[in-house]
């Protein structure tokens, strides 16, 4: 599973970006997205386009953690979102690894997008790496988001941080990485 | 945050508009505009452009002509209730773009009428310049019937339709095409792709200076490539056992007044269609209406003789007869009352490939390639077709539907029918468990012929399917969908997978077409489920890619036309088409555009900002632009780019500036690449461009939009074409406007 985590200001400007891979089940923590190296901008496109859904979901969902809000089927990218009181949004794009039988994944593996949501679970069902919509994954992402949120609040309270500016703090970055390692 | 209301009028789409210009990009998705006006304007402009320049291939010229009746149609047409029915949409205009698509889909499932003419009739017509004989002559006129056609549905309510038509086919080729076809190399899908390539090649114009302005104006409600694609897809499926749309509802048997033994010939022709060598395959219901036509040669034969013969005919063959008076000589352009033969709308991809090539060679020779026909002949044929449809075909179909509904469907629907099908199922289980060792080849005692994979024509399953199809063609979607729903499980029990898929597909389609089902809380999930089943049966169980693609394309278009949350479903189906790899490279891009269009058609709820899918639509538009560029079609790419910028205009704080850096750089690169490719394709490097741009009232439209661009950039340094300049074009535009006026004044 590969992750792309973004913090967006209320005006959609990115405050913080990080890409990392899973550390669970023998992962090395390096992101391997399905896009070719020349098309890494797709992550940002997908994140940006999911704001449509986030804007809709934030009025219908009472929680700060909006859970899995959006999917980009062609690349099997899933977006989870988290809202903060100041209108800052945490968006996590997660993408399960390319299945070994690529023919299967391009064929009916994608039918989980509509209706039956249990199709992608045929890999190792329990690990969160294989199934982005399972309750386990939701819970793990929630834990991750909460931890990042705590760190974000501390960072935002720093007297040297200007509201809405990019977060350059290396401490924050290492803490997000640690949270990712811990939960995802 | 800015609200859409105050952004759109102030903000023109950002700078770069080489080909399509602002008007074009707005015309493309006129949901937000005044739709009738835009269509009207497009018509006028495209006419004025296309008529004086005969060099536009017929396939592109055809597009505006056939949209010539949308105004009439939108008043009373395929979707009359749709605008009335309330499902929380304040934007009524949104549906007018999809109205056309609905009409297209409905007309795709028109009754088929086979034509079987005697030799002498075909000779007579061939003299007139129609190579295919009598069928070739009738064909264009069957597609639209003049005037309204009134159809009564199963509960006795009448409705008038303006866009009713029939499909004339040659009886000799009917039902025989699949055998001779090579499934690999020229499968319908590959042919569709070729047609698209050709069409785009014709409109994108690598010839540079000769690009007609029309190809840009052609982007109306839905881009014509995607519409062309849909139309090609809908008419690419040959007659097959599992659905009866391609089966003849009636057959026209024609003789001419030259015939020496007219009545005997008619009898012989009838016998041939019934038992002889022209007998249709077993899976086609043999009981269809026979309609006898006597073609009178106005120039050589005596009308009194013919009338006498006609009376005799009526006495022998009953009321389904017609006397068609034609002139036998060939019509040329210079004749007084000559008029162009109307273009056939429903050409299969194969014919398209042949036909387009033919006109192109003729264009080179200096003629305009289309044949002409006498005015009197046209009116004779039109009245013949109208009489055929209104007085024979429709009453016949209504009658059949009523009879089958009474005799077969009612029995099936009743309590005993349910019990029977249930007991059959149980019997099936027991028998298959008994004969499990023997391979259960005979199925489970059903009517399905597992050896030839069809139901025999007289079995209730086949008749019910035919009845549902008839009801569908008569646009009685309520009856059609309930009938499909009734039989679809039977097919599954019999493991008749193609029938199974077809019934699910058409059940979902007819549910979506039924405008009244909307108020009855149409369950989107069940529709989705049906499409899912149909698609799975087509693809996995039958590996029939053409039908699967047709099913998915119908799902996309119809769900999109439903609006609301159905549009997201539509977008998902479009993505799945791409995912399945059913379409070629051009098709992929077209479906990307469709995804963008689906998302773009989702409007915000009430006055709130949320609920729209502008970012998603914009993203897909940009991706499509990227793909068009890679496919070497800068004109289309620039149109998509324009569209994307228009869509993004609502959601971006600053025009054309994306908050995310990698997106920004991608868009910048794309803009630059599209600009340079576009100018290159237009032969911009050739310095004579601005000079030729000055002339020509016919090209006025294109001059207004892009020649100015050229001129300005020529006057300035060429290096000014870089992206930074183009993006920051917003404030420059006010300067340009007076400049432009000054030059033209």
Rounded Cα gap, residues B94 and B92, in angstroms: 5
Total Cβ atoms within 10 A of residue B611: 17
Number of H helices, E strands in chain A: 4, 5
B690, two tokens: 């601005």
Considering only the beta carbons, identify the residue of B529, B612, B659 that sits closest to A13. Answer: B659
Q: What is the pLDDT of residues B84-98, one digit of tens each?
A: 333 333 333 334 466
Domain that holds residue A126: 2-183
Mean pLDDT, residues B608-616 taken together: 79
Considering only the beta carbons, identify the residue of A47, A74, A114 that sits closest to B532. Answer: A114
Considering only the beta carbons, identify the residue of A14, A107, A108 that sits closest to B659. Answer: A14
CB contact under 8 A, B572 and A113: yes
Between B377 and B716, the higher pLDDT residue: B377
Considering only the beta carbons, identify the residue of A49, A108, A113 that sits closest to B619. Answer: A49
Contacts of A122-131 with C-beta under 8 Å, sequence gap 24+, read A123/A99, A124/A25, A127/A24, A127/A25, A128/A1, A128/A22, A128/A24, A128/A184, A129/A1, A129/A22, A129/A24, A129/A25, A129/A27, A129/A96, A129/A97, A130/A1, A130/A96, A131/A96
Between B89 and B695, the higher pLDDT residue: B695
Return the exposure string of B622-635: e unless at least 16 CB atoms fall within 10 Å of the residue's CB, then b.
Answer: bbbbbbbbebebbb
The SS3 call for residue B582 is coil
Does residue B171 form part of some domain?
yes
Mean pLDDT, residues B135-149 taken together: 86
A178, two tokens: 């640690």
Find tokens 């690990």 and name the residue: A127
Q: Residue B160: phi, psi to the nearest 5?
A: -100, 140
State what percent of residues in chain B have pLDDT above 70: 66
Residue B504 exposed, middle or buried by CB count within 10 Å (0-12, 13-18, 19+) = buried
Total Cβ atoms within 10 A of residue B73: 19
Does residue B212 form part of some domain?
no
B101, two tokens: 């698509």
CB contact under 8 A, B572 and A110: no
Q: Which of A60-64, B484-488, B549-553 has the lowest mean pLDDT?
A: A60-64
- What confidence score (pLDDT) does residue B507 get? 92
- What confidence score (pLDDT) does residue B177 get? 52
Does residue B278 form part of some domain?
yes
- Structural Rg of chain B based on CA atoms: 28
SS3 content of chain A, % helix, strand, coil (to 5): 40, 20, 40
Rounded Cα gap, residues B715 and B740, in angstroms: 14
d(CA B729, nearest CA chain A) in Å: 23
Answer whether B331's CB lies under 8 Å from B338's CB: yes
Q: What is the pLDDT of residues A22-49, one digit of tens each?
A: 887 777 778 888 777 777 888 889 999 9
Q: Does A73 touch chain B (CB under 8 A)?
A: yes
Query: Residue B394 to residues B111, B135, B169, B248: CA-CA distances in angstroms?
Result: 10, 20, 18, 13
Does residue B158 form part of some domain?
yes
Q: Does A74 touch chain B (CB under 8 A)?
A: yes
Q: State the pLDDT confidence band at B331, using cuts at 50, 70 and 90.
A: confident
- What confidence score (pLDDT) does residue A173 get? 93
Whether the predicted pLDDT of B328 surpasses 70 = yes
Q: Does A115 touch chain B (CB under 8 A)?
A: yes
Pick the residue of B545, B615, B620, B668 with the most A CBs within 10 A to test the interface with A by mutation: B615
> Which residue in chain A is spatially nearest to B666 when comparing CA positions?
A41
Pick the residue of B527, B534, B626, B662 with the most A CBs within 10 A to test the interface with A by mutation: B662
Q: State the pLDDT confidence band at B455, using cuts at 50, 70 and 90.
A: confident
B583, two tokens: 């379409």
> Which residue in chain A is spatially nearest to B569 when comparing CA positions?
A114
Answer whether B282's CB lies under 8 Å from B462's CB: no
Does residue B27 form part of some domain?
no
- What confidence score (pLDDT) does residue B418 get? 62
Rounded Cα gap, residues B640 and B122, in angstroms: 48
Is 0.90 topped by the overall pTM?
Answer: no
Q: What is the pLDDT of residues B400-447, one digit of tens each?
A: 999 998 888 887 777 666 665 555 555 444 444 333 333 333 444 567
Residue B491 exposed, middle or buried by CB count within 10 Å (0-12, 13-18, 19+) = buried
Answer whether A79's CB lies under 8 Å from A71's CB: yes
Between A140 and B700, the higher pLDDT residue: A140
- What confidence score (pLDDT) does residue B283 get? 84
Q: What is the pLDDT of residues B7-65, one digit of tens each?
A: 334 333 343 444 333 344 444 444 443 333 344 444 444 444 333 333 434 343 333 33
CB contact under 8 A, A47 and B660: yes
Does residue B292 form part of some domain?
yes
Q: Does A164 touch chain B (CB under 8 A)?
A: no
Answer whether B296's CB lies under 8 Å from B323's CB: yes
Collect all residues from B whose CB is shorter than 8 A from any CB in A. 525, 528-529, 532, 536, 540, 569, 572-573, 575-576, 578-581, 609-616, 618-619, 622-623, 651, 653, 658-663, 665-666
For residue B159, the cross-strand partners are B151
In sequence order, what DSSP letters do the residues of B587-640 get, joined into one string? HHHHHHHHHHHHHHTPPPSTT-SBTB-HHHHHHHHHHHHHHHHHTT-HHHHHHH
Least Cα distance to B330 among B90, B528, B532, B123 occurs for B123
Pick the residue of B531, B572, B579 with the most A CBs within 10 A to test the interface with A by mutation: B579
Mean pLDDT, residues B351-371 taken together: 54
- What confidence score (pLDDT) does residue B458 get? 81
Answer whether A129's CB lies under 8 Å from A182's CB: no
* Relative orientation angle of helices B585-600 and B224-234, to the nearest 10 degrees: 110
Across B176-185, B359-368, B488-497, the highest mean pLDDT is recorded for: B488-497
B629, two tokens: 């560029």
SS3 content of chain B, % helix, strand, coil (to 5): 60, 10, 35
Considering only the beta carbons, identify the residue of A41, A110, A114 that sits closest to B662. Answer: A41
- What confidence score (pLDDT) does residue B252 get? 92
Answer whether B378's CB lies under 8 Å from B335's CB: no
d(CA A41, nearest CA chain B) in Å: 5
- As for the ipTM of the complex, it is 0.84
- What confidence score (pLDDT) does residue B278 get? 75
- What confidence score (pLDDT) does residue B532 get? 92
Return the exposure string of B308-337: e unless at least 16 CB atoms fall within 10 Å of the residue's CB, then b.
Answer: ebbeebbeebeebbbbbbbbbeebeeeeee
Return the exposure string of A155-170: e unless at least 16 CB atoms fall within 10 Å of the residue's CB, then b.
Answer: bbeeeebeeeeebebe
Whether the predicted pLDDT of A151 surpasses 90 = yes
Q: State the pLDDT confidence band at B346, using cuts at 50, 70 and 90.
A: confident
Query: Residue B42 to residues A33, B21, B60, B221: CA-CA distances in angstroms?
Result: 44, 14, 14, 10
The CA-to-CA distance between both ends of chain A, in Å, stands at 9
Residues of chain A in contact with residue B575, where contact means CB-CB under 8 angstroms, are: 73-74, 113
Q: What is the pLDDT of residues B105-127, one digit of tens each?
A: 998 899 999 999 998 998 888 88
For residue B338, the cross-strand partners are B374
The CA-to-CA distance between both ends of chain B, in Å, stands at 41
Answer whether B310's CB lies under 8 Å from B323's CB: yes
Rounded Cα gap, residues A6 and B199, in angstroms: 43
Answer whether B689's CB lies under 8 Å from B682's CB: yes
Q: What is the pLDDT of residues B715-738, one digit of tens each?
A: 434 443 444 444 443 344 444 444
Total Cβ atoms within 10 A of residue B352: 24
CB contact under 8 A, B660 and A44: yes
Q: What is the pLDDT of residues B574-604, one digit of tens each?
A: 999 888 888 888 888 999 999 999 998 887 7
> Which residue in chain B is spatially nearest to A75 when comparing CA positions?
B579
CB contact under 8 A, B663 and A45: yes
Whether the predicted pLDDT of A150 surpasses 90 = yes
Domain that holds residue B261: 111-178+244-331+371-413
Question: For chain A, what is the domain count?
Answer: 1
Q: Does A18 touch chain B (CB under 8 A)?
A: no
Rounded Cα gap, residues B356 and B58, in angstroms: 7
Whether the predicted pLDDT of B709 surpasses 80 = no
d(CA B612, nearest CA chain A) in Å: 7
Q: What is the pLDDT of residues A43-64, one digit of tens each?
A: 889 999 998 888 888 888 888 8
Residues of chain A in contact with residue B663, where contact means CB-CB under 8 angstroms, are: 41, 44-45, 48
Query: Residue B489 to residues B477, B510, B662: CA-CA distances in angstroms?
Result: 19, 17, 51
Least Cα distance to B348 among B246, B244, B231 occurs for B231
Whether the predicted pLDDT of B466 surpasses 50 = yes
Pick the residue of A4, A12, A106 with the most B CBs within 10 A to test the interface with B by mutation: A12
Q: Residue B503 is inside which H or E element, if any?
A: helix B497-513
Q: Residue B456: phi, psi to the nearest 5?
A: -70, 150
Rounded Cα gap, residues B198 and B202, in angstroms: 6
Considering only the beta carbons, identify the residue of A8, A44, A113 that sits closest to B663. Answer: A44
Beta-carbon-side half-sphere exposure of residue B352 (alpha carbons within 13 Å) = 26
Q: What is the CATH number of the domain that holds A54?
A: 3.30.450.70
Residues of chain A in contact with residue B528, where contact means CB-CB under 8 angstroms, are: 114-115
CB contact under 8 A, A107 and B653: no
Does residue B395 form part of some domain?
yes
Q: What is the CATH number of the domain that holds B251?
A: 3.40.50
Answer whether B166's CB lies under 8 Å from B142's CB: yes
Does residue B685 form part of some domain?
no
Residues of chain A in contact with residue B578, where contact means CB-CB under 8 angstroms, are: 74
- What confidence score (pLDDT) does residue B608 get? 63
- What confidence score (pLDDT) does residue B431 get? 42
- What confidence score (pLDDT) does residue B395 get? 92
- What confidence score (pLDDT) does residue A74 get? 83
Interior CA angle at A106 toward A103 and A110, to 5°? 130
Interior CA angle at B97 toward B96 and B103, to 5°? 80
In sequence order, what DSSP letters do the residues of B99-158 get, joined into one string? HHHHHHHHHHTPPEEEEEE-HHHHHHHHHTT-TT-HHHHHHHHHSS-SS-EEEE-TTS-E
How many A-B residue pairs are in contact by the CB < 8 A criterion? 82
Q: Does A69 touch chain B (CB under 8 A)?
A: no
- Structural Rg of chain A based on CA atoms: 16
DSSP letter assigned to residue B474: T
- What confidence score (pLDDT) does residue B424 get? 55
Least Cα distance to B49 among B175, B186, B214, B163 occurs for B214
Rounded Cα gap, residues B566 and B701, in angstroms: 37
For residue B672, the cross-strand partners are none
- What confidence score (pLDDT) does residue B189 get? 81
Find tokens 């600053």 and name the residue: B654
- What confidence score (pLDDT) does residue B213 get? 32
CB contact under 8 A, A8 and B653: no
Whether the predicted pLDDT of B483 surpasses 60 = yes
Between A40 and B291, the higher pLDDT residue: B291
């Amino acid at each position: 599973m590969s992750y792309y985590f973004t913090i967006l200001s209320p005006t959609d400007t990115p405050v913080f970006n990080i890409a990392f891979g899973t550390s669970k089940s023998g992962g090395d923590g390096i992101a391997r997205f399905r896009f070719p190296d020349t098309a890494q901008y797709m992550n940002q496109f997908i994140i940006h386009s999911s704001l449509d859904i986030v804007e809709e979901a934030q009025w219908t969902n009472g929680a700060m953690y909006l859970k899995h809000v959006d999917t980009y089927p062609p690349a099997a990218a899933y977006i989870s979102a988290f809202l903060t009181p100041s209108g800052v949004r945490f968006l996590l794009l997660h993408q399960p690894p390319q299945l070994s039988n690529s023919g299967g994944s391009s064929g009916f593996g994608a039918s989980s997008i509509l209706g039956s949501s249990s199709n992608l679970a045929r890999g190792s069902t329990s690990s969160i790496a294989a199934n982005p919509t399972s309750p386990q994954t939701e819970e793990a992402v929630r834990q991750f988001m909460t931890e990042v949120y705590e760190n974000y609040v501390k960072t935002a309270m720093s007297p040297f941080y200007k509201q809405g500016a990019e977060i350059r703090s290396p401490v924050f970055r290492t803490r997000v990485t640690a949270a990712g390692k811990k939960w995802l | 945050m800015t609200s859409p209301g105050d952004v759109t009028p102030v903000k023109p789409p950002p700078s770069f508009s080489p080909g399509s210009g602002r008007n074009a990009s707005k015309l493309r998705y006129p949901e937000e505009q005044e739709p009738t006006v835009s269509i009207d304007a497009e018509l006028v402009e495209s006419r004025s452009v296309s008529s004086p320049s005969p060099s536009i291939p017929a396939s592109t010229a055809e597009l505006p002509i056939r949209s010539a009746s949308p105004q009439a149609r939108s008043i009373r047409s395929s979707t009359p209730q749709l605008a009335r029915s309330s499902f929380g949409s304040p934007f009524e205009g949104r549906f007018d773009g999809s109205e056309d698509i609905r009409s297209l889909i409905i007309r795709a499932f028109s009754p088929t009428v086979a034509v079987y003419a005697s030799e002498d009739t075909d000779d007579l017509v061939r003299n007139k310049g129609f190579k295919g004989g009598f069928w070739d002559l009738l064909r264009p006129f069957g597609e639209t019937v003049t005037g309204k056609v009134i159809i009564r549905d199963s509960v006795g309510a009448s409705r008038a339709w303006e866009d009713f038509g029939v499909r004339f086919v040659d009886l000799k080729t009917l039902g025989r095409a699949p055998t001779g076809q090579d499934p690999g190399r020229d499968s319908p899908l590959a042919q569709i792709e070729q047609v698209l390539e050709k069409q785009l090649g014709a409109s994108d114009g690598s010839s540079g200076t000769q690009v007609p302005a029309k190809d840009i104006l052609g982007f109306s409600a839905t881009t014509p490539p995607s519409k062309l694609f849909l139309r090609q897809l809908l008419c690419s499926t040959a007659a097959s056992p599992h659905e009866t749309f391609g089966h003849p509802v009636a057959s026209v048997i024609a003789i001419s007044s030259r015939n020496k033994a007219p009545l005997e010939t008619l009898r012989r022709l009838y016998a041939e269609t019934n038992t002889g060598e022209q007998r249709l395959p077993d899976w086609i219901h043999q009981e269809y209406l026979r309609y006898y036509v006597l073609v009178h040669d106005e120039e050589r034969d005596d009308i009194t003789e013919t009338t006498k013969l006609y009376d005799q005919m009526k006495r022998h063959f009953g009321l389904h007869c017609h006397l068609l008076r034609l002139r036998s000589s060939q019509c040329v352009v210079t004749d007084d009352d000559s008029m162009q033969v109307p273009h056939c709308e429903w050409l299969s991809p194969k014919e398209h490939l042949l036909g387009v090539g033919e006109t192109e060679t003729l264009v080179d020779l200096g003629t305009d390639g289309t044949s002409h026909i006498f005015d009197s002949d046209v009116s004779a044929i039109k009245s013949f077709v109208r009489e055929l449809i209104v007085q024979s075909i429709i009453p016949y179909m209504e009658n059949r539907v009523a009879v089958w509904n009474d005799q077969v469907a009612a029995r099936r629907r009743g309590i005993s029918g349910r019990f029977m099908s249930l007991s059959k199922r149980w019997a099936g289980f027991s028998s298959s468990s008994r004969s499990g060792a023997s391979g259960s080849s005979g199925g489970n005692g059903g009517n399905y012929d597992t050896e030839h994979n069809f139901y025999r024509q007289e079995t209730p399953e086949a008749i019910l399917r035919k009845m549902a199809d008839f009801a569908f063609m008569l646009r009685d979607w309520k009856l059609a969908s309930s009938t499909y729903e009734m039989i679809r499980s039977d097919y599954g029990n019999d493991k008749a997978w193609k029938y199974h898929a077809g019934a699910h597909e058409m059940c979902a389609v007819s549910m979506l077409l039924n405008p009244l089902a909307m108020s009855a809380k149409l369950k989107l999930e069940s529709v989705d489920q049906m499409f899912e089943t149909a698609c799975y049966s087509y693809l996995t169980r039958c590996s029939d890619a053409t039908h699967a693609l047709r099913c998915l394309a119908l799902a996309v278009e119809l769900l999109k036309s439903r609006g609301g949350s159905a549009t997201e479903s539509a977008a998902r189906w479009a993505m799945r088409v791409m995912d399945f790899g059913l379409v070629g490279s051009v098709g992929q891009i077209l479906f990307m555009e469709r995804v963008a269009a689906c998302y773009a058609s989702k409007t915000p709820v009430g006055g709130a900002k949320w609920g729209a899918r502008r970012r998603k639509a914009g993203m897909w538009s940009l991706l499509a632009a990227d793909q068009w560029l890679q496919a070497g079609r800068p004109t289309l790419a620039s149109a998509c780019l324009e569209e994307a910028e228009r869509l993004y205009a609502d959601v971006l704080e600053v025009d054309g500036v994306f908050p995310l850096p990698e997106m920004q750089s991608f868009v910048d690169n794309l803009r630059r690449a599209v600009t340079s490719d576009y100018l290159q394709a237009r032969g911009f490097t050739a310095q004579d461009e601005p000079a030729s741009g000055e002339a020509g009232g016919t090209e006025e439209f294109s001059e207004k939009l892009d020649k100015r661009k050229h001129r300005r950039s020529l006057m300035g340094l060429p290096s000014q074409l870089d992206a930074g300049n183009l993006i920051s074009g917003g404030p420059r535009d006010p300067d340009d406007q007076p400049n432009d006026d000054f030059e033209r004044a």
